């Protein structure tokens, strides 16, 4: 089997490839964005899963749950007013260093998926260890090794 | 620009991912080792492990760490990680690899249906384009799990009923 024969080489290439991607991601931080609006003047921007921290009368300070970043957005005339304490996703155009929001989505239950995923995790682990057991050779199939 | 235009985290929905993986395994007639496909279906969400680091870092440092983990939530990340972990399983490598890849791609496909305001998922990072853009569901919406769960009920729990209703999948179960 060519795949079995050349797998060590393939594995090493995959390891090097993943390391390169990780270095690229760590140095350029391209995947997750900061809330920084600089450089987006006149462009559309979506800020997702942000918490409304304070404000009123159309101007709100919003922040990210984990990183502690904060930014002011302007919500005059948007389809739904922002409410302090809610988790929202907003979309708009950056004008004068501020995001002029035109669309708002309020996440009513932002953590529900995490809670439900716990059940998914338990179900997955149950099924997985019904099929595989851990040994010194790695994960060994309980059914003997034949596939399909 | 970025993979997630939406912010820090896209919520995981393992129930929907596992149900879709189960449906694919059922339709592929995989009876043994289907949990590898399920593993592949949740593997990209292991990037959420980076959230543990919020207890140690914040600000730009935390974003950098999270970016590091998010690599496995991309097309190339799925391929490379599947290649790396396939030898952990004492099964034919071609089988292990195929199961992990199919599961991983099903995860990316399902995630591409999410996003607010039709934003962008840069699954093909570090390639700039093309990216997937749909935006059918919000990340906290239960609809994907409900729709796939409804489908899975007929496929996995009631295959006879599924066959009678649709006439599809004859001889597969």
Length of chain A: 148
Task: For B137-161, write each residue's pLDDT tens digit.
Answer: 777 777 777 888 887 777 665 655 5
Q: Which residues of A touch B122 (CB under 8 A)?
A: 30-31
Residue B141 CA to residue B111 CA, distance in Å, equals 12
> Which residues 81-100 of chain A have a CB within 8 Å of chain B?
89, 91
% of chain A residues with pLDDT over 70:
91
Q: Which residue from A3, A14, A143 is facing B94, i.e. has the nearest CB?
A: A3
**Tens digits of pLDDT across chain B (173 residues):** 233 333 334 456 788 889 889 888 888 878 788 899 999 999 998 888 887 887 888 777 877 888 888 888 889 999 999 999 999 999 888 999 999 999 999 998 888 887 655 455 677 778 765 555 567 777 777 777 788 888 777 766 565 555 555 666 554 43
Tokens of B52: 């543990």
Q: Which residue from B14, B68, B125 is facing A120, i.e. has the nearest CB?
A: B14
The Cα angle at residue B47 between residues B42 and B52, in degrees rounded to 5 = 120
Handedness of CA A94, A96, A98, A100 (dihedral sign): negative
Residue B152 CA to residue B143 CA, distance in Å, equals 14
pTM assigned to the model: 0.82
ipTM: 0.81
Question: Do A148 and B68 count as a contact with CB atoms less than 8 A apart?
Answer: no
């Amino acid at each position: 089997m060519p795949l079995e024969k050349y797998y060590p080489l393939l594995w090493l290439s995959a390891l090097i490839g993943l390391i390169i991607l990780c270095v690229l991601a760590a140095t350029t931080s391209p995947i997750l964005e900061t809330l920084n609006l600089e450089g987006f003047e006149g462009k559309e921007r979506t800020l997702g899963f942000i918490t409304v921290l304070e404000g009123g009368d159309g101007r709100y300070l919003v922040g990210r749950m984990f990183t502690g970043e904060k930014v002011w957005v302007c919500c005059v005339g948007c389809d739904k007013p922002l409410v302090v304490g809610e988790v929202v996703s907003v979309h708009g155009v950056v004008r004068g260093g501020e995001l002029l929001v035109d669309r708002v989505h309020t996440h009513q239950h932002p953590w529900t998926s995490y809670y439900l995923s716990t059940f998914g995790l338990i179900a997955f682990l149950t099924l997985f260890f019904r099929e595989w057991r851990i040994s010194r050779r790695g994960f060994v199939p309980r059914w003997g090794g034949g596939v399909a | 620009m970025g993979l997630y235009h939406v912010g820090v985290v896209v919520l995981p929905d393992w129930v929907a991912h596992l149900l879709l993986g189960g449906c694919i395994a059922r339709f592929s007639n995989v009876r043994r080792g289907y949990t590898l496909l399920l593993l592949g279906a949740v593997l990209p969400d292991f990037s959420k492990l980076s959230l543990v680091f919020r207890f140690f870092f914040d600000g730009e440092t935390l974003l950098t760490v999270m970016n590091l983990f998010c690599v496995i939530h991309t097309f190339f990340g799925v391929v490379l990680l599947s290649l790396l972990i396939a030898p952990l399983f004492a099964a034919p490598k071609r089988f292990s690899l195929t199961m992990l890849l199919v599961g991983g791609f099903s995860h990316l496909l399902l995630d591409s249906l999410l996003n607010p305001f039709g934003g962008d998922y840069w699954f093909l990072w570090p390639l700039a384009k093309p990216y997937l853009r749909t935006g059918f569901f919000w990340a906290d919406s239960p609809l994907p799990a409900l729709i796939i769960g409804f489908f899975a009920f007929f496929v996995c729990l009631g295959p006879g009923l599924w066959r009678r209703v649709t006439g599809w999948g004859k001889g597969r179960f």
